[in-house]
Amino acid sequence: MSKQDLAPTAYTAFLEPQDQSGSAGLEKHLDPPASWTQLEFWDKDGNPYLKEYEGRGLLQDKAVLITGGDSGIGRSAAILMAREGADITICYLEHEKEDAEWTIKQIEKEGRKAHGISGDLKSMDVCKNIVDEHMKVHGRLNVLVNNASMQEACMDHSKIDLDVVQSTFQTNIIPMIALAKFALPHMKRGDNIINTASVAGYMGNPALVDYSSTKGAIVSFTRALAQQQAPHGIRVNAVAPGVIWTPLQPATNNLPADAMKGLGINEAPFNRPGMPVEIGTAYVFLASPLSSFATGTCHHANGASELQG
């Protein structure tokens, strides 16, 4: 089996040391490449094989706005939702433009309208402009996926960089609150918001104290907003991924390159990192009528690394 044709269960054997620290990370440098659209199935003898995700029109003619949609989990959600019939806007940082352009092409290959917007979500003006531009392009906003985030490792809290802490909160949770504020006036009954939390928001992570704190805040934000919007028929849910093979991992500052080789090993019974497609399907489910009675929930996809959420 080559690196280009891996089932998720085989990934751990191929992970190599790598480092993209100092940036948000790029898919083109990720080795082996992640899987965004191929799901793992098993034959009658229990042997794994890959099959492309096939849409069923679950989001036909909906318009979706995804932050951090250029790569990783956001990329998978964007492509899968396009296969379900949705038009997509993705938001990304300027230096991630190459990843974003690739994702946009994949959306367009599905016959759907795609639009990309670059900008730093730490600016509230940028958050508002993103929603405004999305509306100009698509004319409707049915699903908001708050997915963009950052993390930087620190094993000694007495030495944590408070500027980084502030940046983590300004990237991970404050834009979610802002984007929901700007999006809700355009949303109607049946529309929904999906926030990306993390297993770290439930377990905590000693190397990611500030990141874990923002992810816990996202869970509470989701529950509170869901209760507020339920009378209006707008659902609000979250997804809490475990360790997933995305550029965010090698791009995490202060983690050694060797940490990537053992990523996911002994962190969950599956003994491997998850693939973006294994999380992207959760966003399709939560955005679609399949989850019409679910709001205020958090979908856990972590390979059983945490079982109390």
Mind telling me the catalytic residues? 211
Please calculate the CA angle 269-274-276 and round it to the nearest 5 degrees.
Answer: 165
Instruction: Yes or no: say if 38 and 277 are a contact pair by the CB < 8 Å rule.
Output: yes
Among candidate residues 235, 147, 242, the one with its CA nearest the CA of residue 192: 235
CA distances from 152 to 70, 103, 121, 248 (A): 20, 25, 17, 10
Give the pairing type, strands 63-67 and 143-146: parallel
Look up residue 232 and give its two tokens. Answer: 């209006």
Find the helix packing angle between 72-83 and 276-287, rounded to 10°.
50
d(CA 287, CA 191): 8
Q: Tokens 């049946």 belong to which residue?
A: 190
- Specify whether the CB–CB gap between 238 and 299 falls below 8 A: yes
Contact yes or no for 243/205 (Cβ under 8 A): no
Assigned token pair, 287: 């955005």
The candidate with the shortest Cα–Cα distance to 199, out of 108, 107, 305, is: 305
Cis peptide before 32 (omega within 30 of 0): yes
Looking at residue 145, the DSSP 8-state letter turns out to be E
Residue with tokens 């900008």: 119
**3-state DSSP call for residue 307?**
coil
DSSP assignment, residue 34? P
